[in-house]
A and B are shown apart, each in its own frame.
Chain A
Amino acid sequence: MSADAYAVKATAGWRRYLRWNTDHKVIGVQYLVTTFVFFFIGGLLAMLVRSELARPGTDILAGQQFNRVVTNHGSLMIFLWIIPVFAGFANFMLPLMIGARDMAFPRLNAASYWTFLAGGVVMVASFFVGAAETGWTAYVPLSIRAPDGQTVWAVSVIIIGASSTMGGINFITTTLTMRAEGMSFWRLPLFVWSMLATSLLVVIATPVLTASLILVALDRLVGTAFFDVAAGGSPILFQNLFWFYSHPAVYIMILPGMGIISEIFPVFSRKPIFGYKMIALSSMAIAVLGMTVWGHHMFSSGMDPRYRVPYMVTSMIIAVPTGVKIFSWLATIWDGKLRFTTAMLFALGFISMFLIGGITGIFLASIPFDIHVHDTYFVVAHLHFVLFGGSVSAAYAGLYYWFPKITGRMLDENFGKGHFILNFIGANLTYLPMFLAGALGMPRRVADYAPEFARLNQLATLGAAILGVSSVPMLYNIVVSWVKGPVAEANPWQARTLEWQTSSPPQDQNFDVPPVITHDPYDYGVAGPAADRPQSASAAAD
């Protein structure tokens, strides 16, 4: 009965999502809704790109327009969707998972959301003053000479970076200082470990991006000489500064997703996670190693060739902790009592697609191979397999898993499965042909291409159309279910982690009394007194 009351309250209180509110659950929803909106805008831009590329020749978008669409597709997806959507999930779930009543700095938390929104608005506003057109990587000297929208874009990224850093500081401090009694580090859910690793990267790497864009802005606005070759400036300096952040950024984009996968597999296999400590430590290893590989984006840049081999080595080593995770997940679901909920399907889809993306990443780490396919569609395929096949699948999995907890309603499983099938077919059809196109020489970021790539591009565009269609059941499901879906119980998945020991959605301040943690998070199907008990024996289930 009280779950019903909460469901009613959630919809009645929708106005609080439009105002400054320091409750981490409100801020989490603000982030999630806002990022999904940006996701759809970025998706529309992608549809535009694929429409143009359906046939050779520039039919819909002329060169500069195309460049702007491509640039902002990438920028939106990276800065306004994938990075912050996981901040949204973390905002909602992290305090619950550790048994805390909120984040360590609730006002800083609210500020980080509104800063994020402001940055997003500025980035979208740049469309109207002549958008950025250099690709999201904004290399100099092109980004110095590009029209005014480029400056607005740079400013927006600086603002978004500030928001991200605020969040990172908050997540680390919360995790270290606000764990409930008994929540030792080795009892933390793996999503929390992943957010810890992610936040370390955010705090260390983001400021360097800020510095790089400040230098770009200074060159553009006041005529400094940082990247003016005639005055002694260095374009490679920009690439070093840019990629020092932007490579760790890809781990910022995948680690939380991997954390979500680690949450989902044990629940829907009714088995403990395999290799809990190794997965936790691998997350930290990926974060640390991830800060040493940035030069692999610069193999063809003209930088001193002697620096290339160390980057190749570190880039290949990072496959090891990643592989540890994949094998641990496979061992988790092996011989399990699998329940193929939509969340589980997306988690399984994640494994296959991320694997393709990850392995092609090892190809790209090899200097000679990279020189051959640098700036071709091979790279586009790789990045979309890891980021769309990987991160977005994980975000979808998180959506289907946690929607009941966040909204107090259940999503429809049939629409969910429809979404999954269309998404899986669409993604593979879109991105697999791109590997071949790139290996055969089709460059990226071009509006026109040689006729020999036409068939592959048609396939990719068809796949993209399917992806576009796949968003319909998802959107319909989210909206209708949130308003009038079946009321969710506290623990519809019979999971053990603490967020499921609160009502759906959780009450104000999350817990009546601070929970005392007595068990590990993933002891599913373990025979004996600990069988399927929640993490906290004392936390009241609904």
Chain B
Amino acid sequence: MQATNPPAESQNARRATYALVFVLLAVITAVEVGLSYLGLPRTSLTAPFLMLSLGKASLVAAFFMHLRSDTRFYTYVLVIPALMLLLFALLTAASS
């Protein structure tokens, strides 16, 4: 399916979204780096870091990869293996 050729105006709206996502990604990265230098115990930061990185990955997937606007099927193709990966990596790391 060829992407519909949106007129220039809606491309501008899209670009604004992309820019906002980019700014969010940059801010989250800065926060992560900042947090890691605060000298807090590593274990207490695990959950926040995981959430933040999940947030970044979701932003890239949803907006840059257009998962939000495309058929939901593509989202399943990404998310189901990702969950598989999570399960497998944790099980393996724990049992090896």
Task: Give me the interface of A with B, judged by CB distance under 8 Å.
Answer: 204, 208, 234, 236-237, 240-241, 244, 291, 295, 303-304, 307
A295 to B96, CA, bound (A): 11
Provide 12 A-B residue pairs closer than 8 Å at the C-beta atoms, listed in order of the A residue. Answer: A204-B81, A208-B88, A236-B96, A237-B96, A240-B92, A241-B92, A244-B88, A291-B84, A295-B91, A295-B95, A304-B95, A307-B95
Interface of B is mostly: helix
B96 contacts A303, C-beta separation under 8 Å? yes
A208 to B92, CA, bound (A): 12
A204 contacts B92, C-beta separation under 8 Å? no
Residues of A within 8 A of B81 (CB): 204
- Is the CB of B94 closer than 8 A to any CB of chain A? yes
* B23-42 with Cβ < 8 A to chain A: none
A295 to B92, CA, bound (A): 10
A295 to B88, CA, bound (A): 11
| Distance in Å: Cβ of B91 to nearest Cβ of chain A | 7
Residues of A within 8 A of B84 (CB): 204, 291
Interface of A is mostly: helix
* B19-61 with Cβ < 8 A to chain A: none
| Distance in Å: Cβ of A168 to nearest Cβ of chain B | 13
The residue in chain B whose Cβ has the minimal distance to the Cβ of A295 is: B95
A303 to B81, CA, bound (A): 25
A307 to B93, CA, bound (A): 12
Residues of A within 8 A of B94 (CB): 304, 307
Q: Which of A237, A240, A291, A303 has the largest count of B CB atoms less than 10 A from its CB?
A: A240
A295 to B94, CA, bound (A): 13
The residue in chain B whose Cβ has the minimal distance to the Cβ of A236 is: B96
Chain B 53-84, CB within 8 Å of chain A: the 1/0 string? 00000000000000000000000000001001
Residues of B within 8 A of A237 (CB): 92, 96
| Distance in Å: Cβ of B34 to nearest Cβ of chain A | 32
| Distance in Å: Cβ of B90 to nearest Cβ of chain A | 11
A538 to B95, CA, bound (A): 57
| Distance in Å: Cβ of B88 to nearest Cβ of chain A | 6
A240 to B96, CA, bound (A): 7
| Distance in Å: Cβ of A249 to nearest Cβ of chain B | 15
A223 to B47, CA, bound (A): 35
Enumerate the 4 nearest inter-chain pairs by beta-carbon distance, A residue then B residue, closest first. Answer: A237-B96, A240-B92, A236-B96, A234-B96
The residue in chain A whose Cβ has the minimal distance to the Cβ of B88 is: A244
Residues of B within 8 A of A295 (CB): 91, 95
Contacts beyond the supplied A204-B81, A291-B84: 9 A-B pairs with Cβ under 8 Å? A234-B96, A237-B92, A240-B88, A240-B92, A241-B92, A295-B91, A295-B95, A303-B96, A304-B94
| Distance in Å: Cβ of B89 to nearest Cβ of chain A | 10
A303 contacts B95, C-beta separation under 8 Å? yes
A291 to B92, CA, bound (A): 13
A234 to B94, CA, bound (A): 12
Q: Which of B81, B84, B88, B96 has the largest count of A CB atoms less than 10 A from its CB?
A: B96
A303 to B96, CA, bound (A): 6
A355 to B91, CA, bound (A): 31
| Distance in Å: Cβ of B39 to nearest Cβ of chain A | 28
A244 to B96, CA, bound (A): 13
